[in-house]
Every structure is written in C-alpha cells, then in structure tokens.
Amino acid sequence: MRRLLAPLFAILFVVLPGVAAARTTVSASLAPAFRSDRIIVETRGAGPDIVFIPGLGSTGAAWRSTADKLEGRYRVHLVTIRGFGQTDIGANAGGALAAPAALEIERYIREQRLSRPALIGHSLGGQIALRVAADMRDRIGRVMVVDSAPFFPALVDSRVTAREVEPLARLGYQALMLFGDQALKGQVSALGGDLGLAGDMVFDGLGLQGGDRRVLAQGLYEALTVDLRQRLRDVTAPVTVVYGWTRDTNNPRNRLEGLYRYGFSTLRRPAQFVRIEGADHQVMIDQPARFQAAVERFMG
C-alpha cells in the first residue's frame, strides 16, 4: 500500500491553488440573509441557479473566471468552506468537514428557495456536490463533477478499500497537523516515492498555503477515506464528469476514463464523460476556454 502514497498525493494535492483567495464575503443581496459557521456564499447575477463548490484549499475565487462569463444569464453562487484561503475557520476547527458542509449547502438551497439548481464541484467539492445531490434528489437539476471521484483512491487502484488506505490518510493528516505542508514531501521521499515534475507541481502548490492546516488535514483525510459509490444510487439528477486528459500514453491521465466509468457505474443513469485535453487537476484554470465550453454544453 505504501506505493499508493505518491500517486494519491499527486491526485489530491494539485488541488491546492495558486489562486488562494482573499477573504470572501456573503452577498448582501440575498433575502433573507444566509449565515453559516461552516460555509460562505457569494451570489451574483440573475437567472437559473448554479452552485459552484471548490476543492481542497480553494475558495469561491477559483470559479470567478467561469462565473464571470455566466453572470449575465445565470445566478451563480460561489461557495467557500470556512478555513480555506484566508477565511475564518468557524465550526470547521474540529470534526468532520465535507458532510457538514454538504448539509449547509442543502440548507442554503432550501432557505434561498433555489429552484433545481445545477451543482458544479471540483475535486473534494465534487464529492460534496454528490452528497448534496444524493440527499436532495429531485430538488437538484444537474451535477458536474470536475476531476473528482466518489472514491479517490480507486483512481489509482479500483480494488483498494478505504480500510486499506486509512493508515496513509492518517499519516497525511498527522504530517500536516504537526509539521505543515512540507512534511508531506519528506514523508513521500522517506517511503521511496519519486513524483518528478508532478511532485514539484504538488509541493509548490502546498507551499502556497491553501488554508488553515486543520481543515486541509481533515479534508485530505476524508478525500482519501470516504467512499461515496453506494450513495450514487440516490442521485436522480444527470451527472457529467469532466477531467483533465493528455494524449501521452505514458501519463496516467491518459487512462483515467476507464477508472472514472467504473467509479460512477452505480449511478441510476450513466454519467456523461468529458475530457479536457491539456488540463491537469485544475481543469478550469489549466484550460479555461475548453472548460467554459463544457459548462455551456452542460447548462444548455
């Protein structure tokens, strides 16, 4: 299982963005005002609702380029999980992270009376979007998950279980909590992992400080150990899976679609799979024009 550590961290930690956002504020235009000690929501525009959920260490700012091009035709809701970026950690200082965040997004949808919104979630945010869709069923119009999976370790080995991965997840959690981001690189090196250029990208991202280490550590742990594949049966909304892809057959990204198809196979209706050539984990930042086109098709 130690051989899984390097590729798992490569998949999950590219999410830490070079655009760690400044403090996000709740839009004053919402009525009644929505307040939460776990999430912050910025709302812009008018029209059909789209809720954007960022990944580990990202804030709603990760979606602003996409949202700017939709604002005149849609009402966009940019979610930030407290503790990511420069936001106050609030109630996320301890305990679970993704499940409570999903419940708060569900409360937001109900209280703001959103009509069958579309959900677009990246990485850990994609898992949160799946949770919301499974809980709210017909109240969700459609779901797009971006470089995300119901069980991340299955993108490395479809046979692996959460129980097998848990020691690695615990190691990552402890390294972040005790020593900070750079400890992860030391742990990978100690176990003989060599990520090459991918490793440089991963750990350069970690150095950008994507948030409070408590939420980063908890988010990493949950992304590695939570398996949502059985919950996919509760999702009634159509699901689109967008992921970065390359023509290079020596690159693991070239072979992702089969693993994604297997991971999402328990959905009631088959998911649609959209590969974005030239993108890595940060699809919307790596290939913004191609990603925007995918969103337009998804909403159309």
Give the CATH number for residue 55: 3.40.50.1820
249-287 tens-digit pLDDT: 988 888 888 888 999 999 999 999 999 999 988 899 999
- Please provide the average confidence, as pLDDT, over all residues in the chain: 83
Range(s) of the domain holding residue 108 = 20-155+222-299
Domain-located, residue 204: no
Domain-located, residue 9: no
In terms of DSSP bridges, do strands 75-81 and 39-45 run parallel, antiparallel, or are they unpaired?
Answer: antiparallel
Domain-located, residue 85: yes
The 10 Å CB-count burial string (b at 16+, else e) for 78-109 is bbbbbbbbebebeebeeeebbebbbbbbbebb
141-181 tens-digit pLDDT: 999 999 989 998 888 778 889 998 898 788 878 877 877 65
Residue 215: burial class (beta carbons within 10 Å; 0-12, 13-18, 19+): buried
Phi, psi of 266, rounded to the nearest 5 degrees: -90, 5
pLDDT at 195 over 70: no
Sign of the Cα torsion 234, 237, 238, 240 reads: negative
pTM of the prediction? Answer: 0.86
pLDDT at 238 over 50: yes
Number of structural domains, the chain? 1
Per cent of the chain over pLDDT 90 is 56
Residue 283: burial class (beta carbons within 10 Å; 0-12, 13-18, 19+): buried
Domain-located, residue 257: yes
What average pLDDT does range 111-138 have in this prediction?
96
Domain-located, residue 13: no
pLDDT value of residue 208:
44
Domain-located, residue 48: yes
Domain-located, residue 267: yes
User: For residue 143, is it left (φ>0), alpha (ψ between -120 and 50) or beta?
Assistant: beta
Domain-located, residue 210: no
Q: Which residue has the tokens 């913004």?
A: 288
Per cent of the chain over pLDDT 70 is 80
Residue 208 DSSP symbol: T
